[in-house]
Amino acid sequence: MQVVNYSTARNNLKSIFDSVYTDNEEVIIHRKGGENVVVIPFSEYNAMKESQYLLSNSANRERLLTSLSKARSGKTFAKDLIDESALDG
């Protein structure tokens, strides 16, 4: 993670954006007397928004957390997938 001040960010915006994209790493922009901001890759932003959406419904959140708990404790099973092309014949 890189931290730069506002002036440095303003003067090097393209290289900061390129670095965020290439390295898939966030950059914190420190603003003296103001709230800091974070520049993140768009893919990371989308992943965060998807997680927020999936966890926003309490029933869905419980189901996901229960599944995660079972997986972490080794309570998993394998299941064969159906080959849809075989159903056409």
17 within 8 A of 9, measured Cβ to Cβ: no
Domain boundaries, given as residue ranges, for the chain: 2-40, 43-72
* Cβ-proximal residues to 29 (8 Å cutoff; 6+ apart), any chain: 3, 4, 5, 6, 9, 36, 37, 38, 39
Share above pLDDT 70 across residues of the chain, in percent, rounded to a whole number: 98
Residue 89, pLDDT score: 58
* The CATH fold of domain 2-40: YefM-like fold (3.40.1620)
For 8-63, write each residue's pLDDT tens digit.
Answer: 999 999 999 999 999 999 999 999 999 999 999 999 999 999 999 999 999 999 99
Structure tokens at 14: 């393209």
For 56-88, write each residue's pLDDT tens digit.
Answer: 999 999 999 999 999 999 998 888 888 877 776
User: Which three-class secondary structure state does DSSP give residue 33?
Assistant: coil
52 within 8 A of 46, measured Cβ to Cβ: no
Read off φ and ψ for residue 2, nearest 5 degrees.
-110, 140
